[in-house]
């Protein structure tokens, strides 16, 4: 049975399978390969995922949510149609929808998955992703770093050898990885990134500049007007650098926006963001002790790498053009599918062993140099260590007749644990004695899936405590997991077969809202007619009129950019 390769993106998700000798991308219920990672609940309580939900961001902002991947691994809950959801639960709904699409397309149940995560995701975020997969009904075979998946999609593993730089600029995250391929082994040498840099930030920059020119802020607009503006900005961003007119003309209540979006204007706005993007690239090169000349191939993935300015920035840094010939939105799903095929030991792929890195430092809390107290960070596994990795370091008791040693587990790069992320802790008894007389060995083992096992041993007694961190923020107990499952199961999805009609109505509503006068009336009439035919439930009649409505909307819809 096929294992589904899934790119669970901030903005868009996609999935594919390895069919034995090639990647097969899976179309969703609308026949498209990209499913926007947007979840909505309508007034009847039915869940919608994807384009229909995205179209409703304008008209039903309180019942629709997007970009929740940024909250993965946190306990933050999002309000959606008067219910509250964690990012894990919302992701589970996206995954459920992909699962249904895959099963419908393949005509068989699909229960196993390989899911991609940004290389820069921490333990909590990885566990939350794994849990989202389980809540959607998948056995999660493994998680794969997005840049690693991209490299596989580009077939970089089919070369004799090489050092490659993968840059993934999506909607909300930026990932940088240096991969080295040698002797049939793909090794990720460094990864860095910025969890808060993506295409959305370029949109925000444009939007803020437009509003500033009007002397207003987003707060002066209704949620509906804001969403309308956001749609126009996205469309316009995609036209930058292309021939032809690129003008944003919008009436937002009493505010009139009419602006020619020219390249120079955008370059000025984008420059601070492009400078930010350079930083993790430089850090990754530094960590790997490489200069730009040592990179054999620079590969771009993620929808935002379509921006000419980004390509130019990268081109200047490396003195050559980056590779970007595979659809940047689909490369990761394709790589995840190939990895899934590899997992199923498909001979067509040959032998590749993939190694990854731990993208951050893992350590424990120790006393400061003055021995006055704790609060200091002792690294155990260094950032960018190749995984699987297992490292042991020892500490000694700090006080006379100390009875208990507490091992606090932290992740981060700061000298002070207060600035790092607390992952958990464990305690064990030590025999009394003078300070420094008892030695405690702490072993950290970090595996391919980004999960950390901690083993602590008291040298003198041989007493061992072994712990996989359970109290990580965002992690759920078994009972909480069952509860979340039951809750998600209760949510009913919209029937798949009505999706096309709903997509059309949602699009129609959007076009209606952004039109005026006669055009608006014309659209209203066509939609009214469609409503009537839908009520009569005659499939042929519906299909015929759907084609006509589509034609009408195509004429007026300036924002149909997907
Ligand atoms: P994610 O990995 O976050 O799901 P994607 O790789 O799907 O994201 O990229 C989505 C981002 O790509 C969005 O911010 C979108 O605005 C941007 N994008 C898509 N096409 C273009 C384009 N032609 N020009 C500029 N940006 C684009
Ligand atoms: Mg992505």
Report pLDDT digits (tens) over 278-304. 998 998 898 788 999 999 999 999 999
Domain shared by 319 and 426, yes or no: no
In a domain, 258, yes or no: no
Catalytic residue (choose from 134, 141, 146, 297) = 146
Given a cut of 50, is residue 229 above it in pLDDT?
Answer: yes
Domain shared by 432 and 509, yes or no: no
- The whole-number pLDDT of residue 556 equals 81
pLDDT digits (tens, 9 = 90+) for 239-279: 999 999 999 999 988 999 999 999 999 999 999 999 999 99
CA distance 186 to 151: 9
Given a cut of 60, is residue 474 above it in pLDDT?
Answer: no
CA distance 34 to 398: 56
Q: Domain holding 352: CATH number?
A: 3.30.420.40
DSSP, residue by residue, 505-561: HHHHHHHHHH--HHHHHHHHHHHHHHHHHHHHT-HHHHHHHHHHHHHHHHHH-TT--
Given a cut of 70, is residue 356 above it in pLDDT?
Answer: no
What value does the mean pLDDT take over residues 186-205?
82
Q: Is 489 a catalytic residue?
A: no
Whether ligand 1 lies within 6 angstroms of the CB of 35 is answered as no
pTM of the model: 0.74
pLDDT bracket for residue 148 (50, 70, 90): confident
Structural domain ending residue among the three candidates 491, 521, 540: 491
Whether ligand 1 lies within 6 angstroms of the CB of 146 is answered as no
- The whole-number pLDDT of residue 475 equals 55
In a domain, 385, yes or no: yes
Structural domain ending residue among the three candidates 491, 520, 549: 491
- The whole-number pLDDT of residue 559 equals 55
Alpha-helix runs per DSSP H in 43-177: 51-59, 87-106, 123-135, 146-153
pLDDT bracket for residue 65 (50, 70, 90): very high
Structural domain ending residue among the three candidates 439, 467, 491: 491
In a domain, 547, yes or no: yes
Domain shared by 42 and 106, yes or no: yes
Tell me which residue range forms the domain holding 13: 4-197+270-357
Number of domain units in the chain: 3
Domain shared by 335 and 408, yes or no: no
In a domain, 255, yes or no: no
In a domain, 58, yes or no: yes
- The whole-number pLDDT of residue 357 equals 67
Whether ligand 1 lies within 6 angstroms of the CB of 324 is answered as no
Q: Domain holding 390: CATH number?
A: 2.60.34.10
Burial (CB count <10 Å: 0-12, 13-18, 19+), residue 14: buried
CB under 8 Å to 446, separation ≥6 — which residues?
358, 362, 381, 385, 387, 388, 389, 390, 452
Domain shared by 44 and 131, yes or no: yes
CA distance 110 to 113: 8
Domain shared by 149 and 175, yes or no: yes
Domain shared by 14 and 114, yes or no: yes
Q: Is 548 a catalytic residue?
A: no
Whether ligand 1 lies within 6 angstroms of the CB of 239 is answered as no
Given a cut of 50, is residue 462 above it in pLDDT?
Answer: yes
Domain shared by 321 and 461, yes or no: no
CA distance 387 to 284: 17
**Closest-lying ligand to the alpha carbon of 7?**
2
In a domain, 137, yes or no: yes
pLDDT digits (tens, 9 = 90+) for 394-423: 999 988 999 999 999 998 878 888 878 888
- The whole-number pLDDT of residue 450 equals 66
CA distance 331 to 324: 10
Catalytic residue (choose from 141, 168, 175, 297) = 168
Q: Which two tokens stand for residue 206?
A: 């444009």
- The whole-number pLDDT of residue 70 equals 81
Domain shared by 455 and 557, yes or no: no
Beta bridge partners of 48: 40
Given a cut of 80, is residue 58 above it in pLDDT?
Answer: no
Given a cut of 50, is residue 353 above it in pLDDT?
Answer: no
Domain shared by 316 and 411, yes or no: no
In a domain, 150, yes or no: yes
């Amino acid at each position: 049975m096929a294992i589904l390769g899934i790119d669970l993106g901030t903005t868009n998700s996609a999935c594919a399978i390895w069919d034995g000798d090639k990647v097969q991308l899976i179309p969703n219920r609308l026949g498209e390969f990209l499913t926007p990672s947007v979840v909505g609940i309508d007034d009847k309580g039915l869940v919608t995922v994807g384009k229909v939900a995205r179209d409703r961001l304008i008209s039903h902002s309180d019942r629709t949510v997007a970009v929740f991947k940024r909250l993965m691994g946190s306990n933050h809950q999002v309000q959606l149609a008067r219910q509250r959801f964690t990012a894990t639960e919302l992701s589970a709904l996206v995954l459920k929808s992909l699962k249904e699409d895959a099963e419908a397309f393949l005509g068989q149940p699909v229960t196993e998955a390989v899911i991609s995560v940004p290389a820069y995701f921490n333990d909590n975020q990885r566990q939350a992703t794994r849990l989202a997969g389980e809540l959607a009904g998948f056995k999660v075979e493994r998680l794969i770093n997005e840049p690693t998946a991209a490299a596989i999609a580009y077939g970089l593993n089919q070369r004799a050898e090489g050092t490659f730089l993968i840059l993934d600029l999506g909607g909300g995250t930026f990932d940088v990885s240096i991969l080295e391929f040698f002797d049939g082994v793909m090794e990720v040498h460094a990864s860095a990134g910025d969890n808060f840099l993506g295409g959305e930030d370029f949109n925000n920059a444009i939007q803020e500049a437009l509003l500033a020119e009007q002397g207003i802020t987003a707060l002066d607009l209704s949620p509906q007007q804001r969403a309308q503006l956001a749609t126009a900005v996205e469309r316009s961003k995609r036209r930058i650098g292309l021939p032809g007119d690129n003008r944003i003309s919008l009436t937002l209540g009493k505010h009139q926006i009419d602006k020619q979006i020219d390249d120079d204007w955008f370059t000025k706005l984008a420059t601070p963001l492009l400078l930010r993007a350079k930083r993790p690239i430089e850090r990754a090169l530094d960590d790997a002790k490489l200069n730009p000349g040592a990179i054999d191939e620079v590969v771009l993935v993620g929808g935002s790498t379509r921006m000419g300015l980004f390509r130019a920035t990268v081109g200047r840094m490396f003195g050559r053009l980056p590779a970007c010939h595979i659809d940047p939105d689909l490369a990761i799903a394709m790589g995840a599918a190939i990895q899934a095929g590899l997992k199923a030991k498909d001979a067509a792929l040959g032998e590749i062993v993939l190694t990854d890195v731990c993208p951050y430092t893992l350590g424990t809390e120790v006393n400061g140099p003055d021995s006055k107290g704790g609060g200091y960070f002792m690294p155990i596994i260094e950032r960018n260590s190749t995984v699987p990795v297992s490292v042991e370091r020892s500490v000694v008791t700090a006080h006379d007749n100390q009875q208990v040693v507490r091992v606090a587990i932290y992740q981060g790069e700061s000298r002070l644990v207060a600035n790092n992320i607390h992952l958990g802790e464990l305690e064990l008894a030590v025999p009394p004695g003078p300070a420094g007389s008892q030695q405690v060995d702490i072993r950290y083992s970090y595996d391919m899936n980004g999960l950390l096992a901690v083993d602590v041993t008291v040298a003198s007694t041989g007493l061992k405590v072994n712990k996989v961190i359970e109290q990580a923020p965002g992690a759920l107990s078994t009972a909480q997991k069952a509860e979340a499952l039951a809750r998600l199961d209760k949510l009913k999805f919209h029937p798949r077969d009505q999706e096309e009609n709903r997509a059309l109505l949602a699009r129609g509503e959007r076009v209606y809202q952004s039109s005026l006068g006669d055009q608006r009336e014309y659209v209203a009439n066509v939609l009214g007619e469609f409503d009537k035919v839908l009520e009569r439930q005659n499939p042929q009649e519906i299909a015929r009129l759907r084609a006509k409505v589509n034609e009408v909307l195509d004429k007026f819809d300036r924002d149909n950019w997907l």
